[in-house]
Amino acid sequence: MPNTQELKDLTTQVRRDILRMVHKVNSGHPGGSLGCAEFFVTLYQDIMKTKDGFDMNGSGEDLFFLSNGHISPVYYSVLARSGYFPVEELNTFRLINTRLQGHPTTHEGLPGIRIASGSLGQGMSVAIGAAEAKKLNNDAHLIYSLHGDGELQEGQNWEAMMYASAKKIDNLIATIDLNGQQIDGSTDSVLPMGSIKGKFEAFGWTVVEIEHGNDIEAILKGMAEAKSLTGKGKPICVLLKTVMGNGVDFMMHTHAWHGKAPNDEQLENALTQNPETLGDY
């Protein structure tokens, strides 16, 4: 199990991966990817209990489902850095006929990817289904998922949330990336959602809040609390308060970098803020 400094070093390298991937093809979503780098690194390097090798069935291990699939750069980087496929393959991001498409897909058999997640709002339903399958198979491992806050504007989420509480899906930890930004502006300006915590609680979920979602120690503590609350008859929601574009000063706190790649000068600036730690691909 890596120590906290090792997790921080890997996070810095993941940020470099994200920036270089989207810059190379002048396409992709760096803002949300950068904001979730600490979460992904901590999840895959410490929190989840997985087994060697990858199979689609996923029995006997914790599983993760990414619902807001546009933040694929951080997902691909962490999967590669966790040994699911060669780090060098990050060079193929968003190129035609490669396994690393802009939104995760399954038809090319990329290790680590169990669902295609391009259409927002569907990941909650998939995660609940996987959690039910674990219960039916007497598999005590957990299901983890990640969703965007703007993504909650999709109605399918709320149907799924009602189902999860009604059926006591208590082996699910669904994390919401609360960065307050989406492609057209702040979530409050596009479609205010009021108290997300209050809504989840009203739908019968137990809610854990991580106020500093870009702090690895806070993530470890908050996710440990969430895990301790599983098996008690209610699904768990983690509200992870992050900063979009975290780690790159000119990308932070704005929706402008939701789906925009840096130019050459901007890339150099951003990489200078995140010195190489483990070696680029």
The pLDDT tens digits for 59-115 are 999 999 999 999 999 999 999 999 999 999 999 999 999 999 999 999 999 999 999
Tell me the longest C-alpha to C-alpha distance in the chain. 53
For the residues 231-251, what does the mean pLDDT come to? 98
C-beta of residue 138 within 8 angstroms of C-beta of residue 167: no
Please name each of the domains of the chain with its CATH number: 4-273 (3.40.50.970)
- The reported pLDDT for the residue numbered 118 is 82
Which three-class secondary structure string do you get for 102-134? Answer: CCCCCCCCCCCCCCCCCCCCCHHHHHHHHHHHH
Cα(183)–Cα(280) distance, integer angstroms: 29
**Which stretches of the chain are DSSP H helices?**
4-25, 30-35, 37-42, 72-81, 123-136, 156-166, 187-190, 196-202, 216-228, 264-273
In the chain, the amino acid numbered 271 is L
pLDDT for the residue 93: 98
Rounded mean pLDDT of 252-270?
A: 97
What is the mean pLDDT of the segment spanning 196-220?
98
How far apart, in whole angstroms, are the C-alpha atoms of residue 151 and residue 153?
5
**17 pLDDT band (50/70/90 cuts)?**
very high
Q: Is the pLDDT of residue 1 over 90?
A: no
pLDDT at 270 > cutoff 80: yes
* Residues with Cβ within 8 Å of residue 241, at least 6 apart in sequence: 178, 179, 209, 210, 211, 212, 213
Inter-axis angle of helices 72-81 and 4-25, nearest 10: 130
Which amino acid, 20? Answer: R
Q: Read off the pLDDT of each residue in 220-232 and give the average, rounded to a whole number.
A: 98
Question: How confident is the model at residue 80, as a pLDDT?
Answer: 98
